[in-house]
């Protein structure tokens, strides 16, 4: 048993500034990723990141990012559980610890994929919340 576990306080919720969902796709599933992106943009106050058709940073597959505020989580994440289809989605918090955020603190919807943790700093202030740039036009 790890005695250090008893000495550490739990991480407070306020450590989470925002969330990302990374939607992964390949040539076969790109059309599904496009449809999911449209559906998300129609329904949720999120910031849709650009398409990354080549691996970038810790992401070993093509993907786009969906950035969202903490209060969007309880609607968007269950909706993604129902609607991700064949796509893998990584949902992770943004604290000041990118490596932990993308690995131990993350959850997968669909099949888990490789995360290249060696491309992430242990600590960084880079992922600050941004204003969402889409307004939903449909209900979830
Ligand atoms: Zn991210």
pLDDT in tens, 86-112: 999 999 999 999 999 999 999 999 999
The domain spans of the chain are 16-119
Ligand 1 centroid–CA 6 distance in Å is 30
Structure confidence by residue, pLDDT tens digits, 7-52: 789 999 999 999 999 999 999 999 999 999 999 999 999 999 999 9
Ligand 1 centroid–CA 11 distance in Å is 19
Whether residue 1 is predicted with pLDDT greater than 70 in this model: the reply is no
User: Which residues keep their CB under 5 angstroms from ion ligand 1?
Assistant: 20
3-state secondary structure of 122: coil
Ligand 1 centroid–CA 10 distance in Å is 22
Model-level pTM? 0.87
CATH number at 16-119: 3.30.70.1240
pLDDT tier at 2, thresholds 50, 70, 90: low
């Amino acid at each position: 048993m790890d005695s250090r576990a008893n000495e550490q306080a739990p991480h407070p919720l306020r450590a989470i500034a925002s969330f990302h969902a990374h939607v992964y796709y390949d040539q076969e599933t790109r059309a599904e990723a496009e449809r999911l992106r449209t559906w998300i943009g129609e329904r949720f106050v999120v910031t849709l990141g650009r398409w990354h058709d080549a691996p970038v940073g810790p992401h070993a597959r093509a993907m786009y990012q969906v950035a969202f505020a903490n209060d969007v989580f309880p609607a968007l994440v269950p909706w993604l559980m129902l609607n991700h289809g064949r796509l893998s989605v990584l949902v992770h918090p943004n604290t000041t610890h990118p490596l932990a955020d993308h690995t131990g603190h993350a959850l997968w919807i669909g099949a888990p994929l490789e995360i290249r943790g060696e491309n992430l700093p242990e600590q960084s202030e880079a992922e600050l919340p941004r204003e969402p740039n889409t307004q939903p036009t449909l209900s979830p």
